[in-house]
Amino acid sequence: MEEKISIWQGDITQVEVDAIVNAANKSLLGGGGVDGAIHQAAGPELKEACKKLGGAETGEAKLTEGFNLPAKYVIHTVGPVYRDGKHEEDKLLESCYRSSLGIAKKHHLKSIAFPAISTGIYHYPAEEAAQIAIHTILDFLEKQTSEITVILVAFDQRTENLYRKILKNIDTEE
């Protein structure tokens, strides 16, 4: 599985791929965390482009240009706010990854980088979120004819270690 998914620790705004995924809020107009960092790095044109999208629902994804980013595009997805795990948070988080990958496929993108969606201010438990991310991505890639390279961008060492542990466990299961 390593050839389909790679892991990189650092700032997602620096990754040179066709598209980076923004863990956005429903307005898509910028916020804190990764969302704020992407908007700041992309420049004011990103906010203007997002205004035209009319927001997004949780689990949905929408595409804009990347403007001043090294990435050509930004795929904005709205992750779920974690309450207690009993409000379909898992299905909504899965939908973020699936919708983002669907946009990448539709636009013939060859590379996409994901942050750890919903694990910051939305309080999704990191290990559970990483499991959902990796399993959803692998499931999507398995069923596709197009080749998409996926990079999981870990903001910190803890997240990178989680991703590596989960991928290693999947590789040993096969």
**CATH number of the domain within which 107 lies:** 3.40.220.10
| DSSP 3-state percent helix, strand, coil across the chain (nearest 5) | 40, 20, 40
Q: pLDDT grade, residue 127 (50/70/90)?
A: very high
**Consecutive H or E run containing 79:** none
Residues above pLDDT 90, as percent of the chain: 90
Global pTM value: 0.95
φ, ψ of residue 140 to 5 degrees: the values are: -60, -50
Q: Are 75 and 104 within 8 A, CB to CB?
A: yes
With a cut of 70, say whether residue 1 has pLDDT above it. no
Domain of residue 26: give its range: 5-173
Mean pLDDT along residues 78-94: 97
* Residue length of the chain: 174
Token pair 């309080």 in the structure block, residue: 123
Catalytic site residues?
A: 35
Q: Is the pLDDT of residue 62 over 60?
A: yes
How many structural domains are present in the chain? 1
Q: Rounded mean pLDDT of 114-138? A: 96
